């Protein structure tokens, strides 16, 4: 167990020294396994992990969902989602910011990536909010916070990886993310209202749209609804009727989604041969990065398990007679602290192999724990000093300081803490839909 703690500290040190997390975990894991066994056994384990990961059929869902998100981005769907949200919400104080949150939720439902959601929506909505006189704090904060919904509302790449890591049903994880995702949208809108209550000039009301204009805007999002129904409906058997009889596995659903997004982008005339090649290259690049982190995490988790850290922690908890609630509180506080240093995927891959056996051993549902972990991960995307969504937004917009964005997102991550507490205190909010499957 002591070796595992030293290994964990070594990974933290290497990350603070700016070594990529994938290499930090792989190097420490390899060194740890060599210490525990011998070099031959360690190199054999590492080579087997690399081969098995690259050949794992279940992991093919990852590049397919990434491909779907990139085709969706090329199809211009993000602008139409914002237009329909603005038509219904724009006339309220802070309405454009609330419309941004709603549009991010819709885009997340067919994208699955927080970073892509934040980067895409910033290009669409930032000029509109500035034109109406919104403050940079509220404008940037609503985009950064809304982007975090991309890893919770299905389909979600991070939920897929959690499911594969813990052998939890990906279908149940997807449907369990719907209610917490809707709560996230509602609470973020509350955060917008808190911001404009404190400073009414930060989010002036826009014009009121007529009923005809609202109906016209709704017609523009048919492709979003169709794609979402194809992926999620096929996954849960909603298309299992005559003459279709379609029921998809997660990988098949991802493939259908990628093909559907490609056809939508093609139908809209938004794809050329060069743009299609760019999408394929970006998919390959992003997938390679994810798989590198995943392989590094599995090497490190094998070392941690071999050195007995999960079992040692369980024995400590049993001997100390700690209540499950206290243990869960400590775990969540560790996640919040790590979120200030690690980006979301690295944090999940580093900690889930350690905490998952403890949580399940205490009697908690693995689906519930997965959603709670993702919500904590969402918080890490907008909290200093890392706040990856904040830095993505800064790189896209350019003329807003990081300090301004962090100041603006404060009400949003505070509402995230409230949502997290609600999900912890009332687990049925997460487990109700999976229980109906």
**135 and 98 in contact (C-beta within 8 Å)?**
no
pLDDT of residue 357: 85
CB atoms within 10 A of CB 241: 9
Question: What does pLDDT average to in each consecutive run of 10 residues of the chain (437 residues)?
Answer: 80 82 86 88 86 80 82 76 84 88 81 74 82 87 86 82 86 90 92 90 85 80 78 71 69 84 82 86 84 83 77 72 83 80 74 85 91 87 78 78 87 92 93 85
pLDDT of residue 245: 63
Cα–Cα–Cα angle for 306, 310, 311, nearest 5°?
A: 85
CA–CA gap between residue 79 and residue 83 (Å, rounded): 6
pLDDT of residue 237: 67
404, HSE (Cβ side, Cα atoms, 13 Å): 13
What is the token pair recorded at 15?
């990350």
pLDDT of residue 6: 85
pLDDT of residue 421: 92
- Name every residue whose Cβ is closer than 8 Å to that of residue 183 and which is 6 or more positions away in sequence: 419, 422, 423, 429
CB atoms within 10 A of CB 159: 28
Give residue 17's Cα distance to chain centre: 26
pLDDT of residue 240: 63
What are the two backbone dihedrals, phi and then psi, of residue 272, each rounded to the nearest 5 degrees?
-110, 175
Q: Tokens 């997290």 label which residue?
A: 420
Nearest CA to 420 among 409, 429, 410, 432? 429
């Amino acid at each position: 167990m002591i070796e595992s703690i030293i290994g964990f500290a070594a990974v933290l040190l290497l990350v603070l020294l700016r070594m990529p997390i994938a290499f930090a975990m792989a190097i420490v894991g390899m060194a740890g396994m060599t210490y525990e066994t011998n070099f031959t056994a360690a190199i054999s384990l590492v080579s087997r992990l690399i081969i098995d990961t690259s050949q794992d059929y279940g992991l093919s869902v990852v590049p397919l969902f990434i491909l779907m998100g990139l085709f969706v981005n090329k199809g211009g769907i993000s602008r139409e989602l914002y237009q329909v949200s603005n038509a219904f919400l724009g006339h309220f104080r802070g309405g454009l910011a609330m419309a941004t949150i709603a549009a991010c939720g819709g885009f997340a439902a067919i994208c699955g990536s927080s970073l892509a959601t934040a980067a895409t929506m910033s290009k669409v909505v930032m000029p509109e909010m500035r034109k109406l006189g919104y403050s940079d704090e509220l404008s940037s904060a609503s985009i950064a916070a809304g982007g975090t919904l991309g890893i919770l509302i299905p389909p979600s790449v991070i939920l897929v990886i959690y499911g594969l890591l813990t052998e939890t049903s990906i279908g149940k994880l997807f449907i369990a993310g719907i209610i917490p995702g809707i709560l996230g949208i509602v609470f973020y809108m509350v955060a917008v209202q808190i911001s404009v209550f404190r400073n009414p000039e930060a989010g002036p009301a826009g014009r009121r749209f007529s009923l005809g204009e609202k109906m016209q805007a709704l017609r523009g999002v048919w492709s979003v609804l169709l794609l979402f129904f194809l992926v999620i409906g096929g996954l849960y058997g909603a298309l299992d009727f005559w003459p279709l009889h379609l029921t998809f596995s997660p990988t098949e659903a991802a493939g259908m989604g990628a093909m559907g997004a490609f056809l939508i982008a093609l139908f809209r005339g938004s794809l050329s041969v060069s743009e299609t090649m760019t999408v394929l290259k970006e998919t390959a690049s992003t997938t390679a990065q994810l798989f590198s982190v995943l392989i590094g995490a599995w090497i490190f988790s094998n070392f941690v398990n071999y050195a007995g850290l999960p079992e040692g922690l369980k024995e400590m908890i049993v001997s100390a007679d700690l209540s499950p609630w206290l243990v869960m509180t400590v775990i969540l506080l560790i996640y919040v602290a790590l979120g200030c240093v690690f980006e979301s995927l690295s944090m999940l891959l580093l900690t889930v192999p350690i905490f998952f056996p403890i949580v399940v051993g205490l009697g908690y549902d693995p689906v519930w724990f997965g959603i709670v972990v993702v919500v904590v991960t969402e918080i890490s995307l907008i909290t200093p000093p890392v706040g990856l969504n904040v830095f993505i937004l800064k790189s896209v917009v350019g003329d807003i300081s990081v300090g301004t964005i962090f100041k603006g997102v404060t009400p949003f991550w505070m509402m995230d803490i409230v949502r997290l507490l609600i999900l912890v205190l009332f687990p049925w909010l997460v487990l109700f839909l999976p229980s109906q499957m």
